């Protein structure tokens, strides 16, 4: 190690670290915003599924910004399993359309929780 390299490493270790605290809540705000956006996207998707015409995977991906495999996971995991909504699918003119049946529509609020 040369003398100048030693001086640089000594100067770095002697220099005070940044003025920011080590533990910051700055990342928490981003997590809250992402959670709110996720709930808003889920609510929008559920409203589309409750419409009489239903919704296609393509329409749900466009509204939510999710990829198609994520939409399928949402339909199976959230809509069917977690919210226990009756999700019906049918092929209309060669395109699969998903829709929440009317029987569960009256039992659930717009945010997906039971009333």
In tens, the pLDDT along 36-57 reads: 888 899 999 999 999 999 999 9
Instruction: Determine, yes or no, domain membership for 23.
Output: no
User: In this structure, what CATH number is given to the domain that contains residue 70?
Assistant: 1.10.10
- Total of domains in the chain: 1
Query: Which structural domain, as residue segments, surrounds residue 99?
Result: 28-115
Q: Is the dihedral of CA 13, 17, 22, 28 positive or negative?
A: negative
Instruction: Determine, yes or no, domain membership for 112.
Output: yes
In tens, the pLDDT along 64-115 reads: 999 999 999 999 999 999 999 999 999 999 999 999 997 644 455 555 555 5
pLDDT of residue 74: 96
Structure tokens at 49: 């599924």
pLDDT of residue 106: 45
How would you class 85 by CB atoms within 10 Å of its CB: exposed for 0-12, middle for 13-18, buried for 19 or more? buried
Q: What is the pTM of this model?
A: 0.62
In tens, the pLDDT along 13-38 reads: 665 555 655 655 666 667 778 788 88
Give residues with Cβ within 8 angstroms of 76, minimum separation 6: none
pLDDT of residue 30: 72
Instruction: Determine, yes or no, domain membership for 8.
Output: no
Which value, to the nearest 10 degrees, does the dihedral of the CA atoms of residues 11, 16, 22, 25 take? -120
Give residues with Cβ within 8 angstroms of 45, minimum separation 6: 55, 60, 63, 64, 71, 74
CB 57 within 8 A of CB 79: no
CB 100 within 8 A of CB 106: no
């Amino acid at each position: 190690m040369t003398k100048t390299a030693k001086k640089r490493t000594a100067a770095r270790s002697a220099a005070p670290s940044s003025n920011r605290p080590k533990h910051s809540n700055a990342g928490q705000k981003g997590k809250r915003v992402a959670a709110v956006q996720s709930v808003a996207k889920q609510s929008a998707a559920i409203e589309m599924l409750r419409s009489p015409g239903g919704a296609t995977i393509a329409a749900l991906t466009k509204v939510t910004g999710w990829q198609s495999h994520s939409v399928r996971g949402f339909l199976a995991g959230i809509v069917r399993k977690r919210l226990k909504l009756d999700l019906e699918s049918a092929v209309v003119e060669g395109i699969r359309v998903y829709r929440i049946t009317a029987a569960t529509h009256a039992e659930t609020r717009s945010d997906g929780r039971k009333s």
